[in-house]
Every structure is written in structure tokens, then in C-alpha cells.
Amino acid sequence: MNKQLLLAATLIAAVIPANAAFAEDHEVRMLNRGADGEMMVFEPAYLEVEPGDTVTFLATDPSHNAEIIAGMLPEGAEPFRGRINQEITVTLTEDGVYGVKCLPHYGLGMVALIKVGDGEAPNLEDAAAVRHPGRATQRMAALFDRLEAGDAAAGPAETGAR
């Protein structure tokens, strides 16, 4: 019996990719008001994750979604677009920066930035050149400042991993 269990465990370990076994799930809440009093926010708005990690956008408050900002997606990465009032979980596989917006509140500054992988993001220059409407311009600039500073821990509720 012990030989069968050992064989089964060995086969399972061989089938599961190594990075999947260590992948983390990070939670981002979609909020009308953040812990710092700011309106229409993702919390945390900035994450640094590893390839293969997942990010779950939680529909904490109504009328929000999470979707990729055009031009802010690494080459080879799959774009995503969540539905209003629905949780969405995405697996981020490609190194680079991913810009995320809530479509109804994009102009109000509801944006997030996710850096995947270590080192320089291959799409950093292109992503930083994307123009944003209204308040999203200032908020995204602040997120890029955090990326450049390597400041994943700043701001309210930045833990994000479960």
C-alpha cells in the first residue's frame, strides 16, 4: 500500500508544474472609497507578483469591473475584461506591467498597476506612454513612481496575498 501511495504522489508531482505549486493568489478589492478616503479605487492599486500568480479582483462595492488598459499588456499576455459587479480571477504569466481600469470609473482615476517578474519590465516604456483620461493620469503616474521606487508595500492594505 505504501508503494502505491508513493507512486501516486510521484506521478502527481510530475504532472503539476513547479511554478503552479508555489503560485500565490493576490486579492484586489474594487471600492467606492478606499482606506485613505480616496474615491473609486482598487485596493491595493499596485502589486508586484511572480509569473504564474493569480490576481482576484473582488466586487466588494457595486458598479465596478476590472479590465486591461489598451497598450498596457506585455507581449504574449492574455487580455481580460471582467463584468460589472462580478469577481474575476486572472493568471499573469508574462513578465511586464499590466495596467488595469474599472471602465465606468476610469476617468475618475480607478486604475491599478501590476508588475510581474523580477527586473526591468519589457513593456515598461510602452505602458508608461499610454495616455489616460481625467484623474487616471495622476493616479497612474503615482503608480509608476511606486514601480520605479520598488515600493510594493506603500499605501493602504497592500498585502493582497491570501
pLDDT value, residue 156: 44
Please list the residues that pair with 98 across neighbouring strands: 114
**26 labeled binding residue:** no
Segment 53-105, tens digit of pLDDT: 999 999 999 999 999 999 999 999 999 999 999 999 999 999 999 999 999 99
Rounded CA-CA distance 20/42 in Å is 26
Q: Over the Cα atoms of the chain, what is R_g?
A: 17
Rounded CA-CA distance 69/57 in Å is 15
Q: Using alpha carbons only, give the angle 17, 18, 23 rounded to the nearest 5 degrees.
A: 95
**110 labeled binding residue:** yes
**64 labeled binding residue:** yes
- Whether the predicted pLDDT of 8 surpasses 80: no
Residue 18 lies in a domain: no
125 is in which domain, residue-wise? 25-149
pTM above 0.95, yes or no: no
Residue 70 lies in a domain: yes
Of the candidates 162, 50, 64, the residue with the CA atom closest to the CA atom of residue 114: 50
Residue 51 lies in a domain: yes
**105 labeled binding residue:** yes
Segment 109-153, tens digit of pLDDT: 999 999 999 989 999 999 999 999 999 999 999 999 999 998 766
CATH number for 138: 2.60.40.420
Number of structural domains the chain divides into: 1
Rounded CA-CA distance 61/97 in Å is 26
For strands 96-101 and 88-91, give the pairing: unpaired
